[in-house]
């Protein structure tokens, strides 16, 4: 059996970095109002395994969900592990949509502004 070489990005020590490519026509741009209204992004196709989320202009809270009925709220007090995820303005994060073969794939993303400012969220489908 012949093994074909792969062409992956490498870190400074030459170790390959596993990178999933962006899907063609898999980019989303979501405008958020300062009111904290929830926007649902998706559904993502089953071939999308990871999404990259970038918040611009405002911090956001987000929660991956299984269908278009997901929701997210901005916490007003302490949250003990059951709250939404927070992403500061200007930051980005990769989020896996497939967590195991025994769990349903996450197909949507609920997102809202976490601050009293409007902003934009960019989502790239990868996989």
Cα 106 versus chain centre, distance: 11
| Ranges 22-31, 86-95, 100-109: which has the least confidence | 100-109
CATH architecture of 21-126: Sandwich (2.60)
Task: Tell me the mean pLDDT in the region 4-28.
Answer: 74
- Parse the chain into domains and list their residue ranges: 21-126
Between CA 83 and CA 50 the distance in angstroms is 21
Q: In 3D, which of 73, 53, 48 has the Cα closest to residue 120?
A: 53
Decide: pTM greater than 0.85. Answer: no
pLDDT tops 60 at residue 49:
yes
pLDDT for 4 equals: 52
Residue matched to tokens 């989020």: 95
Greater confidence (90 vs 18) lies with 90
Between CA 111 and CA 32 the distance in angstroms is 9
Q: In 3D, which of 95, 114, 90 has the Cα closest to residue 36?
A: 114
């Amino acid at each position: 059996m012949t093994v074909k070489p792969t062409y992956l990005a490498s870190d400074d020590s030459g170790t390959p970095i596993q990178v999933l490519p962006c899907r063609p026509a898999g980019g989303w741009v979501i405008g958020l109002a300062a009111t904290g209204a929830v926007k649902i992004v998706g559904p993502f196709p089953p071939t999308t395994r990871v999404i990259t989320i970038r918040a611009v202009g405002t911090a956001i809270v987000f929660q991956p969900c299984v269908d278009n009925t997901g929701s997210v709220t901005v916490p007003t007090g302490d949250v003990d592990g059951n709250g939404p995820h927070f992403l500061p303005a200007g930051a980005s994060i990769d989020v896996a949509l497939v967590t195991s073969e025994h769990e349903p794939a996450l197909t949507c993303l609920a997102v809202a502004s976490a601050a009293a400012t409007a902003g934009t969220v960019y989502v790239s489908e990868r996989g």
